[in-house]
Structure 1
Amino acid sequence: MTDSAVVAFYRGQPDNLGRTWDEILAQDDEWLECRHDFIQWLFPLATPSRANLSAPLLGPADIDAFRTDPLLRRKLLLSLDRMLRFYGLKRTDGGIAKDAAWGQRKKNWFVRPTHNNLRITRVLKSLAVLGGESEAGQFLAALRKLVRAEPDAGVGADALEYWEGALR
């Protein structure tokens, strides 16, 4: 059986724009902030993206592949690590916490509503579907904690509701 576009991408083949998984993860934060056509490849879903109509859609075989193939799982978690770094966060033994860049990185997403709220929803949903339920739960717990604890939180209740709904 031939790999789907998303599984092939995670195994080293380029996306529809000729970029590999490695190349996307190596991009700087500015690139990630300005581009809206990569997140669907890193965190695919079964539903179409309004931001990228060419994005691959997950099918049952893809979900099974991510849930059973250790390479795909490892790379999915590395994708999560890259996006967490983009947000100024990091995975720890017990969950997800702020990293050294938090003070700078939060300005791009945490102090006011941005398109990154949609990206976070996608990350949570994709992780939960592809076998990363634990990591998705940790990410949501960290988001809840940050919204409660940070005085300059611009993330509203509606965003939290979307994020919580992503894991229902």
Structure 2
Amino acid sequence: MGNLLGSWRFKEPSTVEECDSTWGSDSESDEPAAEDDSGVSDSISPAESDSSPQLTGSPESVPKMKRSFYAARDLYKYRHSYPNYRKSRQPNEYRNLRFYLNKIPLVPDGIYIEEILTKWRGDYDKLEHNHTYIQWLFPLREQGLNFYAHELTQDEIKEFQSTREAKRRFLAAYSIMLDFYGIKLLDKSGSVARAPNWQERFQHLNESQHNYLRVTRILKSLGELGYEAFKAPLVRLFLQESLYHNTLPNMQHSVLEYFVYTIRLPATRRRLLRYARQHYRPAHAFLWGPPPKRRGGGGGGGSMGAGSSGIRAPAPTPEPQRRGEESSPSAGRGIIVSSHDAMMCQEQIGAGLKGSTGLGSSMSGLEGALMMAGARGEINDYSETFPL
């Protein structure tokens, strides 16, 4: 039996369609259906109609675009609990949990979580230009660009979710991040709205695009640590601001290519994408709807593999319930750096991830291309959290 299991191999998705299960269970019609959105329906209204908006340009005038396979694969692995995941490179010392219990400082800066929560609020310059704290505030089960930070483990995730003090500080850190972006957290269910300083902060967010990498990390970490339902309200707000209000036009690609696909429930992704399609211009260039081959009933590349509607990642605790998802052992070799991290760094500094040494507080070699930010306001002292 041991040899049989040892010889088992998963097939890694090789196309965007195989990585995307969003439309796998959808009917041939794109009309919104009454779907269970795990409590998100209160904060996400269904699409008012599915009529095609007027085009603002001819197909010939629009550059040919296609979805990023690297982004799709990265988010596929995240949503399906890293099916090819191996043990992290560090021993399981619960360092992320101990950091949130204020027992150890983040490395390399030597700063404790309470100092960040109490003294960094409103210091937008520090939150923008320091690139070492984000991976400690929002840990994942994948290695990022601060190699002093430790990946989460399954056992640590369970322990974190059962520790009230850690969860309280995690939500306080989340509210700091939202305020930095001009958003306020309204309640324990994750509802969000514009903050009083939204105009100033949205202008900064629209211009400082490396923060989109940070937002992706925040969304992923919310799902890892038990706050899956917090994602959809935030993604919906970003869709509204980038597509409808046009206050964050530079965010359009990131919210559709990355933010939406951090959400594990296909029904919720469908609802968000239907809303996006209503307001996307030019409408004929919208890339994130149902695959055309599925509409014709031919099955196509999007109907198998990751496109199977029944595959859903466990939430909130990402237990290794693979349910037959396809993947490959090849991606588990060495240190894992997310595709989004790599792509954003290439765009920001014009080079690949070569040599990640010298990651001190300045991190001059990767300035403007790393992790995350925080914000002003009072600490949201949530003593309880809602299980998802």
> Fold-level match, TM-score > 0.5?
yes
Alignment of 1:28-67 (within 5 A): 28-50=123-145, 52-67=146-161
Shift in CA distance, 113/167, structure 1 to aligned 2, threshold 3 Å: farther
Contact 1:10–1:21 at 8 Å: present in 2 too? yes
Shift in CA distance, 166/113, structure 1 to aligned 2, threshold 3 Å: farther
| In the alignment, structure 1 residue 108 sits paired with structure 2 residue 204 | yes
User: Identity over aligned residues, as a percent?
Assistant: 32
Query: Which of the numbers 105, 110, 135 marks the counterpart of 1:14?
Result: 105
- Aligned residue pairs total 165
Which amino acid letter does the alignment assign opposite residue 15 of structure 1? Answer: L
Distance 2:181 2:247 in 1: 15
Contact 1:113–1:156 at 8 Å: present in 2 too? no
Alignment of 1:9-158 (within 5 A): 9-12=99-102, 13-16=104-107, 17-25=109-117, 26-27=119-120, 28-50=123-145, 52-93=146-187, 95-109=191-205, 111-112=206-207, 114-153=209-248, 154-158=250-254
Q: How far apart are 1:3 and its partner, in Å?
A: 5.3
**Cα deviation digits, residues 15-43 of structure 1 (max 9, x gap):** 12210012223211110100111110000
Query: Which of the numbers 146, 150, 161 marks the counterpart of 2:257?
Result: 161
Contact 2:138–2:218 at 8 Å: present in 1 too? yes
**Cα deviation digits, residues 49-78 of structure 1 (max 9, x gap):** 12x121111011221122222211111111
Which residues of structure 1 form unaligned runs of 5+? none
Which residues of structure 2 form unaligned runs of 5+? 1-91, 265-388
Contact 2:182–2:200 at 8 Å: present in 1 too? yes
Question: Higher Cα Rg: structure 1 or 2?
Answer: 2
Q: How far apart are 1:105 and its partner, in Å?
A: 0.9
Whose helix fraction is larger, Structure 1's or Structure 2's?
Answer: 1
Which amino acid letter does the alignment assign opposite residue 41 of structure 1? Answer: W
Distance 2:255 2:192 in 1: 18
CA-atom RMSD in angstroms: 1.7
Structure with larger RCO (C-alpha < 8 A, sep 6+) = 2
Which amino acid letter does the alignment assign opposite residue 72 of structure 1? Answer: A
Distance 1:4 1:10 in 2: 10
Query: Once superposed, which parts of structure 1, at least 4 consecutive aligned residues long, lie more than 3 Å away?
Result: none
**Cα deviation digits, residues 61-120 of structure 1 (max 9, x gap):** 2211222222111111111100001001001147110011101111221x2461100000
Q: How far apart are 1:159 and its partner, in Å?
A: 3.7
Which amino acid letter does the alignment assign opposite residue 19 of structure 1? Answer: I
TM-score, normalised by the number of residues in structure 2: 0.41
